[in-house]
């Protein structure tokens, strides 16, 4: 089931998931029940993100050499202790660059909620330049929004590099 879920969600564009969450999902709800549009968009983003993160973690788990499992068995560790103490730390360290890249991509994809009518950073900027006091500042508005996205992505990238250095084995 998990493989089917990951492959299905990874094979569908985020925009189509957002559209389905906004317009198709409410058709299946009982009469009189309504879920907020923002919550539906969040659920679509969460399901989309979960599939990509699961794939990154799967890749990290596959990168752990079989000898690690054998060594844990030789020490007499059970399945859960082996996973928690030996396998997962190595797998997550190996998957860290992919996880951060996925997180940055998801952060930038949040601007797609504009398509389903939810107010985001870009639509806030567009609403600001409609105001007569701010007309003529469209270029500046897009530069500021670009700067905000850059700063967030830059610091996520730097934090990833910090974590990689910190978890590097001697």
Q: What is the per-residue pLDDT across 21-37, written as a single tens digit (0 to 9) for each?
A: 888 888 888 888 888 88
Query: Rounded mean pLDDT of 55-78?
Result: 93
Q: Which CATH class is domain 2-167?
A: mainly alpha
Under the phi-then-psi rule, with left for phi > 0, alpha for psi from -120 to 50, and beta for the rest, what region is 17?
Answer: alpha
Query: Rounded mean pLDDT of 99-110?
Result: 89
- Report d(CA 135, CA 133) in Å as an integer: 6
The whole-model pTM stands at 0.77
Query: Rounded mean pLDDT of 144-170?
Result: 86
Whole-number pLDDT of residue 169? 61
pLDDT > 70: percent of the chain: 98
Whole-number pLDDT of residue 166? 86
Residues 6+ apart with CB under 8 A from 61: 87, 91
Query: Rounded mean pLDDT of 88-102?
Result: 91
């Amino acid at each position: 089931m998990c493989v089917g879920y990951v492959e299905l969600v990874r094979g569908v564009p985020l925009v189509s998931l957002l559209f389905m969450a906004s317009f198709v999902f409410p058709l299946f709800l009982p009469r009189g029940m309504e879920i907020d549009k923002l919550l539906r968009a969040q659920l679509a983003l969460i399901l989309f993100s979960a599939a990509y993160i699961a794939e990154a973690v799967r890749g990290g788990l596959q990168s752990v050499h079989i000898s690690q499992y054998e060594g844990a068995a030789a020490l007499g560790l059970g399945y859960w202790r082996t996973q928690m103490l030996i396998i997962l730390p190595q797998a997550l360290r190996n998957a860290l660059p992919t996880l951060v890249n996925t997180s940055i991509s998801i952060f930038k994809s949040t601007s797609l909620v504009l398509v389903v009518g939810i107010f985001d950073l870009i639509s806030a900027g567009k609403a600001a330049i409609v105001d007569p006091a701010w007309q003529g500042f469209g270029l500046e508005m897009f530069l500021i929004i670009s700067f905000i996205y850059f700063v967030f992505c830059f610091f996520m990238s730097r934090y990833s590099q910090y974590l990689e250095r910190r978890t590097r084995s001697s």
